[in-house]
Structure 1
Amino acid sequence: MTSTAPLTIDVVSDVVCPWCFIGMKRLQKAVAAAGVEVQVNWRPYQLDPTVPAEGLDRKAYMLGKFGSEDKIREIHGRIEPLGRAEGIAFDFDAITVAPNTLDAHRLIRWAGASGTAVQGRLVALLFSLYFEKGANIGDRAVLVEASREAGMDASVVEALLPTDTGLEEVRKEIATAAQMGVTGVPCFLLERRYAIVGAQEADTLADAIRQVSAAKARGELNDAG
């Protein structure tokens, strides 16, 4: 029997990226199938850092980005069945605001201080709020309520959000991802050595987890340059 070692997976993603939502679901399946102890950390990325803090009208934003309603319907039509296969009920028509995600990423970072389980619950909740319920996850009241539901101290979150706490750290993490060559999300970093880009199938992710875990158990990662 092949021996395994625990792995750390850092997922670089943005909570307004539908492929990241699909990637999260597939990673959950992969971890369950791989039979390896995995710690998942969520790292920030902004698909569009130019969106103002108050957000933008999503319909106008999407038209500006893709040019026509037909093109938008085509994109959504490609994503929706893939979502259904992973248990996601995408409701793009319910989304009215294209938010800036810096505050959401600050919240995800704070959740990580409470443990990976809390952080994972929060990330899943933010994806669901945005893509399945059309919530404005740039709205601080929405974020405070999400923190409460995820098991965080909502009163602390409510006090911190109006401040700059964590802002510089999140921006540095985003810059670090860019320096590492991350140009698309989701990006799964296994042991901070091996990158898997895109919402790969669960079987593909599970195989990669097993292979890197086995290599780590053999001590091969210690020698990697």
Structure 2
Amino acid sequence: MQAIQIEVYYDFICPWCWIGQRNLAAALAERDPHEPVSIRYIPFELNPTMPIEGMDRRMYRSQKFGSWARSQGMDAQVTGAGLAAGALFNYDKVMRTPNTRLAHRLMQFAQQHGEPQESAALYQAIYTAYFNEGRDIGSLDTLVEIAAQCAFDTSEVRAYLLSAAGLQDIDAARERAGRLGVQAVPTIRIDGDVISGAQPSVVFSNALLLAAQRKAS
């Protein structure tokens, strides 16, 4: 059977992308192991004009949402939803809102040079580092450390991120997403079927089942 093609449009700054990832992973764990899947992580920058060094999170969120109190209310909602999906948010540790372009480039490197399971582990690890541990995922050194934890060669990772490799690919991915009608994240395409938002795992399970039935016929 041909592999089911999955495209994950994401940004590491989006908490719902992490929740969606956990729900998709739960659905994938329940599928028939003889039904192969191929997952591609496609960057969708939400804050392309964010300063390279990021911003103080309280300042940024207060400006964006009108008040810090409103931001905290939204954080509480996300934290509750995350618990059900196994995504543990510690917003009291998150001091900065990062520029995520470097993290997107790291995922590009992983998908070009690593095995699928290594890319999946890195994808999860970056979310954990930011939302659970409060680390600055806009920092080169932080990303190199995360990559090392996922068995990537640190010297190769650092050289790639210090170069201009992959920059045009990120812009091209954003443009392609627009042509496909992707306007927000998370958006997950399973063999062309579009699932928008951090849907429950059963939604992903049903989409995988339908895709498998189409492949079989």
* Distance in 1 separating the partners of 2:199 and 2:85: 12
Partner of 2:138: 138
**1:99 alignment partner in structure 2:** 98
**Residues 1:17 and 2:6 aligned together:** no
TM-score by length of 2: 0.95
- Residue in 2 aligned with 1:60? 59
Q: Could you list the per-position Cα deviations for residues 18-56 of structure 1 after superposition, in whole angstroms to 9, with x for gaps in the alignment? A: 000000100011111232432222110111111011111
- The answer (yes or no) to whether the contact 2:193–2:207 under 8 Å persists in 1 is no
Structure 1: how far apart are the matches of 2:46 and 2:93?
20
- Residue 50 in structure 1 maps to residue 55 in structure 2: no
- CA root-mean-square deviation: 1.2
Displacement, 1:5? 5.2
Cα deviation digits, residues 77-133 of structure 1 (max 9, x gap): 111111111222201121111111111001001101212111111110000000001
Identical pairs, percent: 32
What per-residue deviation string (whole Å, max 9, x for no partner) do you get for residues 139-176 of structure 1?
00001111111111110111121221111112211221
Structure 2 matches for 1:30-179, cutoff 5 A?
30-35=27-32, 36-113=35-112, 114-179=114-179
- Whether the 8 Å CA contact 2:144–2:157 is kept in 1: the answer is yes
Q: Which amino acid aligns with 2:92?
A: D
Residue 161 of structure 1 aligns to a residue whose secondary structure is helix
Residue number in structure 1 paired with 2:181: 181
Task: Tell me the distance in 2 between the aligned counterparts of 1:207 and 1:18.
Answer: 23
Letter in 2 for 1:200: Q
Structure 2 unpaired stretches of 5+: none
- Match for 1:55: what amino acid? G
Query: Which contiguous aligned blocks of 4+ residues in structure 1 show a shift greater than 6 angstroms?
Result: none
Partner of 2:3: 6
